[in-house]
Amino acid sequence: MSNRAATTFGLLILAQAAHSIEEYAGRLWESFPPARFVSGLVSDDLRLGFLLLNVALLTFGVWCYWWPVSRRWRSARAVALGWALVELVNGLGHPLWSVRQGGYTPGVATALILLILAGTLLVQMRTRSTGT
């Protein structure tokens, strides 16, 4: 994994932090049934469940950056690919949901950043693996 791809991965984790803050501020668990369901698995207090899940996600993301990705473990490419694919879905899903809802939905403002960084990371990883 190239230094450029590792940097992009780090930026993707930072963008996810901003995205999580936007979703929390917009109370996503109140308007998006899957967020409500998953938050409810963690706590009866949906706000707390959502917060705990996002803290866990971001903690895992930081760990992935500082260990497998930055230290170039064998698993680094798989970890980065997994994150990029999840964020690609996240970056596409929010705008589609906003269109369906007919207006702003929590997370849509930062979704474009996720989409761009995830796409960039995938291109960087592909370019590196094909030798071009």
Count up the domains in the chain and report the number.
1
Q: What is the dihedral of CA 13, 4, 2, 62, to 10 degrees?
A: -20
pLDDT by position in tens, the chain (length 132): 999 999 999 999 999 999 999 999 999 999 999 999 999 999 999 999 999 999 999 999 999 999 999 999 999 999 999 999 999 999 999 999 999 999 999 999 999 999 999 999 999 999 755 544
Please give the model's pTM, rounded to 2 decimal places.
0.94
CB 115 within 8 A of CB 11: no
Residue 132 confidence (pLDDT): 45
Show the domain range for 8. Answer: 3-130
81 contacts: CB under 8 Å, gap ≥ 6: 122, 125
CB atoms within 10 A of CB 74: 7
pLDDT at site 129: 57
What pLDDT is attached to residue 74? Answer: 96
